[in-house]
Each structure stands twice: as C-alpha cells, then as structure tokens.
Chains A and B, each alone.
Chain A
Amino acid sequence: MAVQEVRVLLDNIDEPGLNHIDTYERLGGYQAMRKALTEMEPDEVLAALENSGLRGRGGAGFSMGKKASFLPKGSMDKYLCCNADESEPGTFKDRLLMQKNPHRLIEGIIIAAIAAGANKAFIYIRGEYVLQADVLDAAVREAYDKGYLGQNILGSRNDVDLVVHRGAGAYICGEETALLDSLEGKRGNPRLKPPFPANQGLYNGPTLINNVETLNNVPLVIAKGVDWFKQFGTEQSTGTKVVSVSGNVQRPGNYEIALGIPARDLVYGLAGGPPPGRKIKCWFPGGSSAPVLLEEDLDRPYSFEAMAEAGSMLGSGAIIVVDDSVPIVSVALRLAQFYRHESCGKCVPCREGTNWTVKMLERIDTGDATPMDLEIMAQVQTNIIGNCLCVLGDSMAMPIGSMIEKFRDEFVEHIERAREAKDRLSVELGTYAEPADAVA
C-alpha cells in the first residue's frame, strides 16, 4: 500500500541542527511571529486561529482560537501554559516535535501569548523528558538572545517571558488544572471547574493552556493562512495530525497525516500492520483512555468526528494496536494498574474505583473470580463514569467498560480457565475444596 504522509509539522524534521535558531530561521522560522507582531492586531491573530478550525491536539479537541478568545481583556496578569506533559500511554508526538524543532513551539507560544495578552509563559514538560527539556532550555536561551523573548519583542510593546518547567513524574499533570496546581508548586490535583483556567488559572490569573502540537500549528496558520491550513483534513477536523502508532505493529512511530484518511491506511499502510500471521484484535484510536475499537472499525475515517461516532475518541491522536496473541484480560489489567497508579487520589470514585477494578482483574487471573465479578466490574465502571472530579477515572472506566462489552466471551472463558487451573493446582497440592457451584 502506498500511503503518503503529509509532512507539514514534520517538514524538515530531520534537518541537521534544526534545534538551533539559525537553522530554524534559515528555513523560514520566526517569520510568522514577525507577521503577527508587525502586520496583525491580536484580534486578527485570534480570528485567524479560530477560522482555521484548529482543534486542540492534547485530547479534548476544543477549538484553539475560541479557547484563546475566552481570556478576559484587561491589564491583569495573564499566563500561557504549554502542556508538554505528554503522558497518555501510546502518545509520543510532542516528544519528537520538542526535541527536533523546539523553535517552532517557542514561536507558536510567542504568537499565542501576545494574541491572548499573556506576558508570562511556561512550558510544563514532563520530568522524564530530560533530553527534550535540555533542548528547549537551550532554544529558549537562543530566543532570548535574539530578542524574541523578554521585553519589547522586536521593538514592539509586547513582553513575553518563557520558563521551561520540568515535572517530576505524574500522569495526572497532563490534566490542565492539575498541571496548574503542579506548576504552582502543589500536588498535581485537578481543580473543580468552573472556574475555568481562562478566567482563573495559574496564580488565579486568566490562563491559556495549549498542547505542544497545537502550538506548533500556530506559526503555520499565521504564516501560510487559514485557507492553506484548511485544505488539509475534514470540515470539522482541519489540518494535519501527527499520529503516534504503537503496540503490535511492524513499524511503530509518528506519522503525519491529513485528518480524515481511513484508519486502516495509518495502521497498515504506514505502520505496517500487525506482525505476519497476526490479526488485529482491537485498537485504541486516541491513547489508552479511548474505548477500544475492533478490526472492522479501521475503515472509518481517522477524524475527531468519526471516532466519536464510533463510540470512542481521537484523543491525543495515538493508536495502540493489540493483536490476537494478547489476552484481553492482560491488556485490561495493565491499563487498570496504570490508572490506579496515576490517580491523584483526590476524588473517591477514581481513587477507590481504579483500586477495586485492579483487584477484581487480578482475581480473574488467579482463578478467584466468577462471571458474577464481571457484572460487578462492569457496574463499577458505570459508577465511575461521570462521577469523578476530572476525566482520569473515566479514562480507565471507558476503555475497560468497552473491553468487557466487546470481549465478554473472552473474559468469561478466561475466568473459567483460570478457575480450572487453580482447582487443578489445589488438587495437586492437596488443598482442594468442593466448589460452591456444586451446590447451586
């Protein structure tokens, strides 16, 4: 299959020295910033972003321009936070963008900050991304030296300060309000919304929070125009998307595509499909928090709207492929363990629900569960969904719920097999007890 990537964000990505400002500028970098500063009013920038249809690439898929326009006008301290806490299992696109092309992110931040009236910006990067944070630190210094950051950028009245802030290992800090708490020097606990960050965010000031990839798109929209940007993708999912494909495929990696191409093109055409002789059992279309889809769903277009229609979501744009060699229970258990470990512990249904789910899944594997537990487990997921403070609880409950729903027979079979194995073992060890089922 000859499927072609559309390299817009990833153009020149392998250019040696792209992480240095000279190379970046030689390739046309920081021209969008000049244009935004000298030829456009902030409102025009915001309008362009909104008209481009650019949707957030971090998971929620909300219109970026609209989000920026929610910030109140006025002279209070406003902030921009770039969410570079890329931790959603299966997602590694921002890592590539930051490591290879840090200046486009910085340029995007400068443009967005000025448009939104923010003069203090932060990149909250996960602590594990040491290399990428070092690259960003160096790039920020270069940008300061050139006068692109700091006071009176390019002689204008605009100031933007940018600090690269390293996290210290917590998935939940990718949730935007937990990120703010963490950046304020607290535990990364999500906040109640409202108030929304646009009104009361970092240090209680109006705050714009955008994902790395989203901000990478900003210089492109400004430099090349709204129409150019909208030529890619579908009506509701404009632009290109860097998709991380991983799991049981032959060529895991980041692939940039125009949104709306069939998912099959991505999984098979670009990532090479599952290993020879294997079939796809299920796949996560938007990171591990997305409900799983089946083989036949691969023919759906890969776009925000089509994935939602299929009962899942495009999320962070990360496809994880599970082939038929993997027991679904082991995927569910691994997933539940992840969310249990990463739950911040603040709200009850998430903290206790993830914990309980793991315990039930563990019992399935040890032969201590009955099909009745499957019902309870499914209900526990229902009890989590919609009742939590943030989306982390749902992020476990939705995929686990979808697995129970779509692979119920496999779960039941697994339960029965494990019980039999346990009984056999206990007969061998002489600890066998008459099973309760005999009574019923």
Chain B
Amino acid sequence: MPKPEPKLITFEIDGREVQAPEGQMLVDAAKMGDVEIPYFCYEAKLGQPVGACRMCLVEVEGIPKLQTSCSTPVKDGMVVNTKSDRVKQAQNAIVEFLLVNHPLDCPVCDKGGECPLQDISYGWGPGRSRFIEPKRHFEKPVALSPLVAIDRERCILCYRCVRFSQELSEDYQLVFLERADHTFVGTHDGHPYVAPFSGNIIELCPVGALTSQAYRFRARPWDIEDAGSICTLCPSQCNVKYTTRDDNKVVRVLARDNEDVDDGWLCDKGRFGYQAIHVPERVTRPMVRDGGELRPVSWERALSEAAGALARAGDRTAALVGGEATNEDGFLTQHLLRGVLDSPHVDSRTSGVLDPQQQAVLAQPDLTAKVSDIEWAGTVLVLDTELVDESPILDLRVRKGVRRNGLNVIVATSRPSTLDTNARALLRFAPGAGEALLAALAAAVSGQGDLEDLSGRAGTSAEILRGAAELLQEPGPVVVLWGERLSQGERGRQAVARLIDLARQLNLSGTEGAGLLEVPRGTNARGLREVGCVPALGPGLDTATRAGKSAGEIAASVPGEVSALLLVGADPLTTHPDRGMWERALDRATSVIAFADFVTEGLDEHADVVFPAESEAEKDGTMTHPDGRIQRVRQAIARPGEVRPQWSVLAELCERLGNPTGLLSGAMVSERVFESVPFYEGITLAEIGGKGVRWQERDGAARLPRVELPVGELEIPPRATAEGLRLGTGPSIWSNRVVEHSPLLRFLLPEQVVELSPEDGERLGLRTGDQVSVSVDGTSVSGRAFLRSDMPPGNVFLIEGTRTDNATALLNGKPRSIELLRAEETSPA
C-alpha cells in the first residue's frame, strides 16, 4: 500500500483556527493548536483507537453526543469545543469513575511524578470523590514475569498492555481475564509473560500498574536525567534514552521514538541489558597475563606490553573487529593495522569473503531500502533471517505492515519463523541452499531457466515458488530483508550474485520504496565495512591496496603467518564458525590483545593483554544502520574504574608504534572518519543529531561511484544434500553477553535446543525434552530435543552463541550433514 500524502485542512478548536493533516485524530490534531485533550487508552503507536477510557470526550458541532477525540478524524471546517461545561462535566465524571477503584497510593507508587493518571486527575478531575465504599485491596505488587511487576489495584484497564501483546508483538500472552468490574490483566494459568518485547508494556502503562522489576524504587523522577543514545546490542540500532542517576549509573532504558528506526519500541534485551554495565565481574582495569593468569595492571604496563607485542608481530598482526564497535573504533583499528603495522588482515565479519565488486553494488543508494519502506511495501521477502532473533524491531515493523497496510510477506527461511503466520507464502529451503532458492525464485519470476530443477536443488517445490513469484510481481514495491548468513558460506559470493540478479529482475533499484535491506550479524556491520574493516576494502569501500585475510583465513593460517591477534570487542569462540579451529588459532598466536567488557572463556585462556572496554552507555561515536542511517552513540554516564575511551587507547597504540594520529577527542575521530569515507563527506555530529542521517540522502552520496547491476551467466547452484539430516543454525535473541551478565535477564540465557521434525523424531525414537547429541566429523554438541510440527523433515536446527554446546563448533562454512543420537546412547552415564 503506498504511503498516503495527507493534505492540510483547517478546523476550529476552542475558538482557534488550527491546521492539521486531514484524517488525523482530533486528539493529535488538537496539539497543533496547543490544546491538550486528556486520554489514557489512546496511543497512536498501538494502531486503531479503542475508545475505552472515555477521557477524551469533546463536543463537535453538529453531533449531538460527545465524541471521543481519539477516534474522530479531523475534517475541514470542523468546530470543536474541549472546554464547555458539558465536556468538563464528562471529564469530571470519568476521572471520578476511574478513581473508584484506584488506591491513590501515589506517595508509595513508582509512577508518582511521571504518571498520566496523576496529572489528569489534577488537571481535569473534580478534585474529590463521592465514592465511600471500601476499595478493593489485593496483594501487591505481584510478579507478572521476572522483569515486570503488576499492581492490579492501580490498573485502570486501559487496554494498552494487552493490545501491545495481542496486536503489536502478537505474542498473545497477555490478556484480559474475567469480565465487567472483575476484569484484570493476566496470563494463562499463572504462566509468566515472557516474550521478546514484553518490557514495552511498562512504558505504555499510564498508571503505576506495570513496573520494571529492575527499576522499581531505584529513583524518583526528580533524581534522574535522561540521556539520548542508541542501543548497540543488535543491528536494529534502536534509539534509546538512558535514565541515569548521579551521572554514573544507568537505572533504566526507555525508547526514544524514531519512526525511521524503531517506531518507539524496544526489545527486552535492549531495555534490560543495561544491568550488565554495573555488575562486579565487568572488566574495569587493564589486565596482563602474568604467571599464566590475567592480572590487573597499570595502563602504562598494559599499553607497553601491547605495543611491544604489536611491534614484534608487525605485518603478521591480524585484527577481528566485533560488531558492536563504532565507526571510530573500526576506523582506528584498520588504521593501526594497515597504516601503522602494514598488515592487511582486518575483518569485522565472522565468516565468508566479501567480493569488492559485489559490495560496491550492494552499497548503491537506490538499491538499499530503508526501514520505513518495509511497512509501505507491496511485498516483503524475508530471506534467510529470523528477524525476531537477529533484528527484533524489524519483526515488529513487518507485522505492522501486514496489520495496517495489508503488506504481503514471503518468508523464505530454512527454519520455521515466528512470522510464518503472517506470511502469504512460505519457502522452506534446505539450510545453506539460499543460492539455489534465489536462483529458483528468479526463474519463477522471469519464467526462464529450469524451475523444477532449481527448486529441487533448493529443497523446495516449484509450485510454492510460483506462488511467491506472483506475490513479488503484484503492484507495490518489493523489499528484501536478507540475512547476512546468505553471504557467509563457502558459496556466499555466488549467493549474493543471485540476490543481485533477483533485485535486477524485480527492478528494485528503479522502484521508489523498493530495495534490499541486509540483516547483518553485527550491530554496526555496515559502518564497519564502510570504514574499511573488511580484508578487501579500505575506508569508503575502496579496494584495498593489498587484500588481507578474512576471519576464517586468519583462523586457518599456518603458524608464523599470523602471530598477534587484536580482538576489538570480538569473541571468535562464541560468534565465529568452527570453534575448534579458532581454539587452535588462539593457542597458536604469540600474543592476543583484546578490548573487552567481560573476560570470556577465550580471553581467560588465551588473552595476553585485556583493555577494559566502554559499555554502550559510556561511549561516544557513530554507527551506521543497515539502511545507511548514521547515528550517534552518546555517552550517558561516567566511565567506571579505569576504563578509557577505546579510540584513545587505539590512538595511543598508534603513537607508541611511532605513528601519532593527532587525535585529541572523540569528536575529532568522528571527523576523521567522515573525511576518510568519501560518501560520508561533510557530515557533522551536529547534523546527525538525535535522529540520525542517511548518507544516501545527502549530496555526498554521489561520491560513491555508480555501478550498474551486473548481467551475465551465473553458476548453477549445487544441489542440497538429500542424505542424512541437514544442519541449520542461527543465533537466539538471548544469546548475548549482556543477557548472561544482567541479573534479571540471565534466566533467558538459552541452553542448546535441537529442533527437528516429528517425523525425524519418531524415526530416531526421540521425544521433546530428550537429551540428544549432534555430531559432525567427530565434533559434537548436546542439547534438548524439540520436535516441532512445522519443521520440514530432514532439517535440524541449533542455536549459535550458547554458553555451552555452542552450535558454532559444528560449522565450517559448508552445508553439513549431522548425526543425531539420544545422549545416553553416546555417553556411558
């Protein structure tokens, strides 16, 4: 559905002439004339108004009854009165009714001081109640989940939280139970409300009924300050506000509505992960391996050991940049490697090799879709990514498009997706067969090529592909949300070629609102590539003078090729495929130097120098959203202990290695980045501001050379193996170190689950809950079996990034067939 262009109309409110977009709800339009209408249940983000609270009643000339302004669209010439006696009487009545069962325990209420009910009672209420019956009293608060407490006395049943659960996140766990004045908010049979986005209900609650278990009683509104930044925990890069206390503690994270990024929602990882900032196990002092163990040392000693090690390794140094590094950190790291140590080996990807030509094509401004294109597209193809795990906020955006604008969704994933129920077409292909799937899809779209053969190679059926192809050709722009996974395998280059070919066939670059949007592995994956943290590309996607090794090649290098490893927020044992190979690589390296906020297993065993890393709330810098929006990461609190800005440590290392950078502040580093990436040229921190700026929409974008989409023969994709069980893996939203270290989130830390079809389960004599072992070539991990009816037979799925039994141990960048056994059969208990 195309985005409507609203036209301005003029209406009268309380005697003032006001202009507002036609069709806007009166309650919002009134604000254009500085008229405030009180309301509780209305929330534009939640979609259609429900009209339940009746607080926003106003008089509209020509309509005999009072109207709810939340559900009355403004029309030209409308005359509205919000201050008449009739309206006042209704407002007084509603407040009195609302307070009939509200305990008025404001002095002990966490919401006090920032409570809409409090404000509206003062502003629009009668000031007294005639209700003298006993109020109802209950145990309070009670747990709704480990993260959210509920106080049912205070609840005014405004519907916001249950609508969120049912109509926004669509997890449908939080509901109204019972009826009439017995109605209350609850879950099924006392189960907790645990879902990826559950924390949003706290922010939505207009009274003190839903409170954060983590924030309860930590502060009063006059104790706190808000600091705007972005969440750095996944590529969604949601805009957040850190609620800080005493300039040194983050006590809460709230959404900072940016409809071009997050629509005002946060996932629970982003909302509650801040707790990991303030845990004792965090690294806040530099450490050096001494006597076989990491010990805290002075900065001087750590810096000199690191500089010494790097000087010794010289061009045999390699760097892995973690996805959460800022553009500034990434830029300085590649500068340290390329410019100072003369080593080309720097990579920010976990697997696969990027082709420079393809990268230039993918960066073309007109080929990139932006986040808001999703909801106005005709069809969205979700390709080889599970959004809720890999970029959660986009999952909500797709659902919004379906719900509000009738968006067609095609889910093309190997593993059943939470978006399946919203999809018009499901393309279940064999894990790792994305290339074949794209080839088949392109054949179905163009009518050329052997569709039967190609769909067989992808492990799917031609008929379903034809249906999907029809959807792709329906009117309306097509947005392809593609997972980086597609490009990471052994045939990643061929898969990306197929993706570009499909984009060409669908004319995505020539269609307004259409395009590709990558769902990368790392938060700042796009920015890191654009500042030069990939082996083949320097800053600005310029082909590097000397191509270096990719992450996988670094791990596989022969002894002596790479002797020092610099890990900038990277943890290859958790995130990179082939864990065994990485263990050997870390073992082999003469020195391992890391920036880290926690000592992981890998660092504990292998690191020689550990620099304390800033947390997301202590950092200054920029990141680039997958859609090209450059956003600021801003420091909200003081750095604890001896933590120093990462850029300054990198600059110091450059200087100690005889190559001073001349950089004196974070802002200078940002400036240097903007100067070094041609298409970022001219950007300033001020211009980025609070909402970010897409470089594609600036004049500087012209400095990226235009590349036409390639045309030509493509390789025939290999056939997905039909033998044995095919292994697929993917991260969980909760497989993240902040989840591990946040006291209240820790319960969500995933244990390994082995998902398989009931058919395979029956064949192997397995039931849900059985402990099973999954092995490839002698390497095995174990986990709990989960038979899911929607899993295609022949496929088995595991989680990447679990603390133990990490599925990355089984990966090597190629499609893998696995053996599956009940655990006790393998281990003599």
Contacts and interface: CB of A to CB of B under 8 A. Distances in A.
Question: Do any beta carbons of A and B sit within 8 angstroms of each other in the complex?
Answer: yes
Interface of A: 170, 187, 192, 340-349, 351-356, 359-360, 363, 376, 383-384, 386-389
A192 B180 contact: no
B181 A354 contact: yes
A360 B65 CA distance: 27
Nearest to A358: B181
Given A343-B180, A345-B176, A355-B181, A192 B94 contact: no
Nearest to A388: B54
Given A341-B179, A349-B54, 5 more contacts: A170-B179, A341-B180, A345-B182, A346-B157, A348-B97
B179 A345 contact: yes
A356 B94 CA distance: 13
B361 interface: no
B176 A187 contact: yes
Contact of B98 (A342, A343, A352, A376): A352
B50 A387 contact: no
B180 A342 contact: yes
Contact of B97 (A192, A352, A386, A389): A352
A351 B41 CA distance: 15
Interface in B54-97: 54-55, 57, 65-66, 68, 71, 89-90, 93-94, 96-97
Given A348-B53, A359-B133, A389-B52, A343 B181 contact: yes
Given A346-B50, A348-B53, A356-B131, A386 B65 contact: yes
B594 interface: no
B57 A346 contact: no
Contacts of B96: 383
B565 interface: no
B50 A383 contact: no
Contacts of A352: 97-98, 100-101, 181
Nearest to B182: A345
B815 interface: no
B181 A192 contact: no
Nearest to A346: B52
A19 B57 CA distance: 49
Contacts of B159: 346
Contact of B53 (A341, A347, A355, A384): A347
Interface in B157-186: 157, 159, 176, 178-183
Interface in B124-181: 130-131, 133, 156-157, 159, 176, 178-181
Contact of B71 (A192, A341, A376): A192
Contacts of B322: none
B758 interface: no
Contact of B49 (A192, A349, A387): A192
Given A192-B49, A349-B94, A352-B100, A386 B66 contact: yes
A340 to B, nearest CB: 6
B208 interface: no
B180 A344 contact: yes
A92 B62 CA distance: 38
Given A353-B97, A383-B93, A348 B180 contact: no
B101 A387 contact: no
Contact of B179 (A344, A353, A387, A388): A344
A353 B97 CA distance: 7
Nearest to A170: B179
B98 A348 contact: yes
B51 interface: yes
A359 B134 CA distance: 10
A30 to B, nearest CB: 40
A349 B95 CA distance: 9
A348 B66 contact: no
A333 B157 CA distance: 25
17 contacts: A187-B176, A343-B180, A344-B179, A345-B181, A347-B51, A347-B52, A347-B54, A348-B97, A348-B157, A352-B98, A353-B97, A356-B100, A383-B90, A383-B96, A387-B57, A388-B54, A389-B51
A192 B93 contact: no
A387 B94 CA distance: 8
A344 to B, nearest CB: 6
A343 B52 CA distance: 13
A124 B105 CA distance: 44
B792 to A, nearest CB: 29
A370 B54 CA distance: 30
A403 B182 CA distance: 27
Contacts of B65: 386
A96 B156 CA distance: 41
A41 to B, nearest CB: 33
Contacts of B68: 192
Q: Which of A376, A387, A388 has the most CB of B within 10 A?
A: A387
Contacts of B51: 192, 347, 389
Contacts of B66: 386-387
B54 A348 contact: yes
Nearest to B68: A192
Q: Which of A355, A363, A388 has the most CB of B within 10 A?
A: A355
B98 A345 contact: no
Contact of A351 (B55, B71, B180): B180
Instruction: Please name the 6 residue pairs, one residue from A and one from B, whose CB atoms are nearest each other, closest first.
Output: A383-B93, A345-B183, A352-B97, A355-B181, A343-B180, A192-B51
Given A192-B71, A344-B179, A351 B157 contact: yes
B181 A348 contact: no
Given A348-B97, A352-B98, A340 B181 contact: yes
Interface in B606-620: none
Contacts of A386: 65-66, 90
A354 B179 CA distance: 13
Nearest to B134: A359
A343 B180 CA distance: 5
A382 to B, nearest CB: 8
Nearest to B64: A386
Contacts of B131: 356
B97 A383 contact: yes
A192 B157 contact: no
Contacts of A345: 157, 176, 178-183
Contacts of A360: 133
B297 to A, nearest CB: 64
Given A348-B97, A359-B133, A383-B97, A389 B179 contact: no
A340 B180 contact: yes
A151 B90 CA distance: 52
Contacts of B53: 347-348
Contact of B183 (A351, A384, A389): A351
Nearest to A341: B180
Contacts of B176: 187, 345
Nearest to A352: B97
Q: Which of B101, B130, B131, B181 has the most CB of A within 10 A?
A: B181
Contacts of B54: 347-349, 387-389
A382 B94 CA distance: 12
A133 B49 CA distance: 35
A389 B178 CA distance: 19
A107 to B, nearest CB: 36
Interface string B303-333: 0000000000000000000000000000000
Q: Which of A187, A341, A356 has the most CB of B within 10 A?
A: A356
Nearest to B40: A348
Nearest to A389: B51
Contacts of B93: 349, 383-384, 387
Contacts of B89: 383
A308 B656 CA distance: 94
A346 B163 CA distance: 13
B181 A351 contact: yes
B484 to A, nearest CB: 37
A388 B65 CA distance: 10
Contacts of A363: 133
B94 A348 contact: yes
Contacts of B101: 352, 355
B57 A192 contact: no
A342 B179 CA distance: 8
